[in-house]
Amino acid sequence: MRALAVLLQYDGTHFAGWQYQLGQRTVQGEVEHALESITGEAVKVQAAGRTDAGVHAAGQVISFRTGGTVPVERVPVALNTHLPGDLRALAAQATGPDFHATRSALGKTYTYAWWTSPTCGPFLSRYVHHLPAELDLPAMQAAGRQLEGNHNFKAFSSVGSSARTFRRTVRAVAVERSGCLTAFTITADGFLYHMVRIIAGTLIEVGMGRRPVDGCFAPALHSGQRRLLGPTAPAHGLWLVQVEYPPPVGILQDPYSSLGGLSALTGRLALY
């Protein structure tokens, strides 16, 4: 049996999320069906992040074991012959037998995107959250920096979280703008259910002047009370952009990953 990791990208618009659900179109369901088609086996896969319905991925990583004989460098091409057009395999790599896409991850990076203009064209509307108003970028940047470090993020999790602990270490937060596109990018050792979307919803309130920068997140971090934060931002503005692993897997990435943050997002959106 071989152990493999595969880099996936998908448009989450018409998926009911990553995780298999009976009678629903899911990313996991499509991938496992494609793997069975090329290997002749019922293959179960693990994913770095269980993205919600409507959430996109530019850097999802999956792992699985197979007795199939397709050469590793041909796995993406073979998979893509059986995957739908809104889901693609970009790269594959052999791993050690203990590699697990979820448990082996050292960190993940998400980007949340807003389009701040009176109108948003149909080619962008499914990939960004449209806000017909300008956002205060310096205020959002100052607020975002308050999240860096190790904190108890209990308040930043929606009902239904299966987390055993709420402590996470946020390594970096950036809020950038290019024209009408504003992007919030966050890297951490892990995330809670809806954590990034709750942060994004709170940053919107800061950017629109509805919430002060000073003490924006501190009360919620100290008390663990969800009501002290903003609304959960819509799913379609969120992208899972990168997952980091120990060597030899490291980071499986597409040509835009090295650009990082807003530049990487702009490059990908230019394709649509």
Q: What is the mean pLDDT of each run of 10 residues along the chain (272 residues)?
A: 96 97 97 97 96 96 95 96 97 95 96 95 92 95 97 90 86 96 96 97 97 94 96 97 89 67 67 48
Write down which residue in 104, 138, 166 finishes a domain. 104
Which segments of 84-188 are extended strands (E)? Answer: 87-94, 107-116, 129-131, 149-152, 167-178, 181-188
Domain encompassing residue 174: 107-239
pLDDT for 163: 72
Total count of domains within the chain: 2
Residue at 44 is within a domain: yes
CATH code at position 47: 3.30.70.580
87 and 187, same domain (yes or no): no
Residue at 266 is within a domain: no
116 and 69, same domain (yes or no): no
Residue at 209 is within a domain: yes
31 and 79, same domain (yes or no): yes
Residue at 172 is within a domain: yes
Using CA atoms, how far apart are residues 260 and 241, in angstroms rounded to an integer? Answer: 9
Q: Supply the pTM of this predicted model.
A: 0.93
Residue at 119 is within a domain: yes
Using CA atoms, how far apart are residues 109 and 185, in angstroms rounded to an integer? Answer: 7
230 and 142, same domain (yes or no): yes
CATH code at position 212: 3.30.70.660
89 and 178, same domain (yes or no): no
141 and 76, same domain (yes or no): no
22 and 136, same domain (yes or no): no
Which residue's entry shows tokens 């990487």? 264
CB 5 within 8 A of CB 96: no
Residue at 91 is within a domain: yes
212 and 232, same domain (yes or no): yes
Residue at 260 is within a domain: no
Please report, to the nearest 10 degrees, the dihedral formed by the alpha carbons of residues 83, 89, 90, 92 taken in order: -140
| Residues involved in catalysis | 52
Write down which residue in 50, 79, 104 finishes a domain. 104
Residue at 175 is within a domain: yes
29 and 119, same domain (yes or no): no
pLDDT for 272: 47
pLDDT for 248: 81
100 and 112, same domain (yes or no): no
pLDDT for 261: 66
3-state secondary structure of 17: coil
163 and 189, same domain (yes or no): yes
Please report, to the nearest 10 degrees, the dihedral formed by the alpha carbons of residues 176, 260, 204, 227 taken in order: -140
